[in-house]
């Protein structure tokens, strides 16, 4: 089986978008997960966008991606977190 060539050159900055219910525990939990996967993660660069009614919060995490495996595992971890609705 031939190895798939990645469309991403590693390492590179890779934005991950996460959406979840607005909750005081949500942002710290997501930042904690990001730091587990990217030791160089800079939380001052996190972008936050509340929904129109303020019920949800969109977060963009600027991750330094080092491999496809790292990104896959990060997506799995975020997707299964109880405070997360969607990961893009």
pLDDT in tens, 65-76: 999 999 999 999
List CB contacts of 87: < 8 A, sequence separation 6 or more: 16, 17, 18, 19, 75, 78, 79
Enter the pTM of the model: 0.89
The domains of the chain are located at 24-87
Residue pLDDT, tens place only, 39-64: 999 999 999 999 999 999 999 999 99
**pLDDT of the residue at 5:** 73
Distance of CA 14 to the CA centre of its chain: 9
Residue pLDDT, tens place only, 6-52: 788 999 999 999 999 999 999 999 999 999 999 999 999 999 999 99
Distance of CA 74 to the CA centre of its chain: 7
């Amino acid at each position: 089986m031939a190895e798939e060539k990645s469309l991403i050159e590693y390492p590179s900055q890779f934005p991950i978008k996460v959406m979840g219910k607005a909750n005081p525990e949500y942002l710290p939990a997501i930042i904690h997960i990001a730091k587990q996967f990217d030791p160089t993660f800079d939380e001052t660069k996190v972008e936050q966008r509340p929904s129109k009614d303020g019920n949800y919060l969109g977060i963009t995490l600027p991750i330094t991606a080092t491999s496809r495996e790292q990104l896959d595992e990060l997506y799995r971890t975020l997707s299964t977190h109880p405070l997360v609705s969607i990961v893009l």
